[in-house]
Structure 1
Amino acid sequence: MGRAIRNQAALALAALALALSSASARADPNALWRIVHDECVPHVEAGLGPKPCERVDLTGGVAEGVAILKDLVGLSQMLAIPTRRITGIEDPQMLEPDAPPVFGDAWGARDLVEARLGRALPREAIGLAINSQWARSQDQFHVHVDCVAIPVIKVLAEYASTLDGQWRAMTVPLQGRVYFARRVDSADLSDVAPLKLLADGVEGARAHMGAYSLAAIGATLDGKPDFILLADQFSLEGGGHAEDLQDHDCAIAHSAP
């Protein structure tokens, strides 16, 4: 059996095991979609405001809209959710030219995170994360917006100078996982497509996007605002859950000056 076939078989078995073990926890994998589609968008279209969402941007219409919703988990965690039906990172719609600007809107929601915390945070303390197809609870694309875990901030502060525009495996782990990393020159992610960079830059990723997770961590490189992109692949040993790089208790908000 070839390596590619073995890898696919292992991933399939892992996905099946995860699905069986988490079936009870995923009573309604469409909950986010129902909230955005059935409540937030109709409320905005009727002129009633975005509730229960915090914000809904329909500038490009529902097809390119993005809603920001406070997650039930965490002090300040926000979710950026397309108002179009998109299942997750594996959905090919996210690699099309008309993909909704989820990452840009997600980064724009950091003010909502800071408002919940009652203080501004350094750029490096905010991160975005999307989990793999087999390490998530919802079947509507969503980006987690929240504080970065302090150990991750410390490692990236030392490692950032080694990064460039090419994906490479890091030589040190983050939260026990070895991530692929690269820098991306952007102030707010409105001018780049992180998922396309993953699909085109990591060998085999485009054909198996559902197996990958992706994070974008704020950074200041060469004296200007940038981002560090981090990618990890689901396996039998774990991974594919970039949300692990975040801290939903936001300890950095209590320790940063």
Structure 2
Amino acid sequence: MSRLLLLLPCLLLSACASTPAPPAASDALWRLIQRDCLAAGGPQGPCLAVEPAPDRRDVLVKDRHGDYQFLLMPMDRVSGIESPQLYQRGAPNYFAAAWQARAQTERALGRPLPRNVASLSLNSPQGRSQHQLHIHIDCLRADVLQVLDAQAGAIGTRWAPLAQPLRGHIYQARALPGEQLRANPLNLLAQDLAGADVGQWGVTVVGRDAVEGGPGFVLLATRVDPASGNDASAEELQDHACTVLTGAHDAMERVR
């Protein structure tokens, strides 16, 4: 049995079986998957692609908020970052699939999407409205990009707090070298930072041009903190109007 399985409270306490069913409104994405992604005639409506391969089993959906935002979701019932099946040996690396799907954002923009601007976010249970895992694929906020550029030299390959808060919240950061996301960010979070507390965290993955002499990523993670009003909605680091590239004013309220 893997160390991660032993860490997860759902398995240790049998809490999952006693968790009440979420309200119908929080099942909207799951119903969309069943209706539009698994339709007999193939993907339809906002569902753009279905990948049924055993090592993937994911779908890509155009989010209704923002012109450039897309969602990568499991085909199977997976509630979110707290779900034990995400940490089992051989589980799909949904972040790697989401990184590949950023090409959809680039097509929607009609211009190149620089690596440093591309971002993937997964919210905590407290920072989301839907109980089907969904990774937000969209642009990074300009102010967050500025902080990461300024802090680039201080971000190493071990988790450590950023010297400057992002959106008023404390974020842990670590660099990850490599052109593609071969390592699973969720495993890196659970193994090296969150442990059994993984369901209290939100994560954003940002592409970077220079990590240890080549392309890579920065992983950003924040923990729920009611005292500071932080619900670990890591999506707060994204800009669904992609202002850094379009110059448009982001007048949308944050959507979880």
Q: TM-score, normalised by structure 1?
A: 0.82
Rounded Cα–Cα distance in structure 2 between residues aligned with 1:51 and 1:100: 25
Aligned with 1:60 (options 38, 41, 54)? 54
Aligned residues: 224
Aligned-pair Cα RMSD in Å: 1.9
Shift of 1:52: 3.2
Confirm or deny that 1:158 pairs with 2:158: no
Confirm or deny that 1:201 pairs with 2:192: yes
Residues 86-135 of structure 1: per-residue CA shift (max 9 Å, x gap) = 11000011111232221011111111111111111210001000000111
Query: Any conservation in 2 of the 1:170–1:178 contact (CA below 8 Å)?
Result: yes
Q: Secondary structure at the match of 1:134?
A: helix
Aligned with 2:206 (options 209, 217, 229)? 217
Match of 2:251 in 1: none
Identify if the C-alpha distance between structure 1 residues 50 and 97 changes in structure 2 by more than 3 Å, giving closer, same or farther: farther
Rounded Cα–Cα distance in structure 1 between residues aligned with 2:76 and 2:43: 19
Rounded Cα–Cα distance in structure 2 between residues aligned with 1:241 and 1:95: 21
Q: Which runs of 5+ in 1 are unaligned?
A: 1-22
Structure 1 residue identity aligned to 2:172 = F
Rounded Cα–Cα distance in structure 2 between residues aligned with 1:170 and 1:185: 18
Map 1:163-178 to 2 at 5 A.
163-178=155-170
Structure 1 residue identity aligned to 2:54 = G
Map 1:1-12 to 2 at 5 A.
none
Q: Which runs of 5+ in 2 are unaligned?
A: 1-21, 248-256
Rounded Cα–Cα distance in structure 2 between residues aligned with 1:181 and 1:170: 6
- Structure 1 stretches of 4+ moved >4 Å: none
Aligned with 1:234 (options 224, 229, 245)? 224
Percent of aligned positions that are identical: 36
Confirm or deny that 1:184 pairs with 2:173: no
Structure 1 residue identity aligned to 2:168 = G
Query: Any conservation in 2 of the 1:76–1:146 contact (CA below 8 Å)?
Result: yes
Rounded Cα–Cα distance in structure 1 between residues aligned with 2:127 and 2:166: 17
Rounded Cα–Cα distance in structure 2 between residues aligned with 1:174 and 1:121: 22
Structure 1 residue identity aligned to 2:187 = K
Query: Any conservation in 2 of the 1:50–1:56 contact (CA below 8 Å)?
Result: no
Shift of 1:170: 1.0
Rounded Cα–Cα distance in structure 2 between residues aligned with 1:103 and 1:94: 11
Rounded Cα–Cα distance in structure 2 between residues aligned with 1:134 and 1:53: 26
Shift of 1:42: 3.3
Shift of 1:223: 3.6
Query: Any conservation in 2 of the 1:164–1:183 contact (CA below 8 Å)?
Result: yes
Q: Secondary structure at the match of 1:139?
A: coil
Confirm or deny that 1:108 pairs with 2:100: yes
Rounded Cα–Cα distance in structure 2 between residues aligned with 1:211 and 1:107: 23
Match of 2:7 in 1: none
Query: Any conservation in 2 of the 1:186–1:192 contact (CA below 8 Å)?
Result: no
Shift of 1:177: 1.2
Rounded Cα–Cα distance in structure 2 between residues aligned with 1:55 and 1:228: 27
Q: Secondary structure at the match of 1:29?
A: helix
Q: Secondary structure at the match of 2:239?
A: coil
Query: Any conservation in 1 of the 2:61–2:70 contact (CA below 8 Å)?
Result: yes
Structure 1 residue identity aligned to 2:144 = V
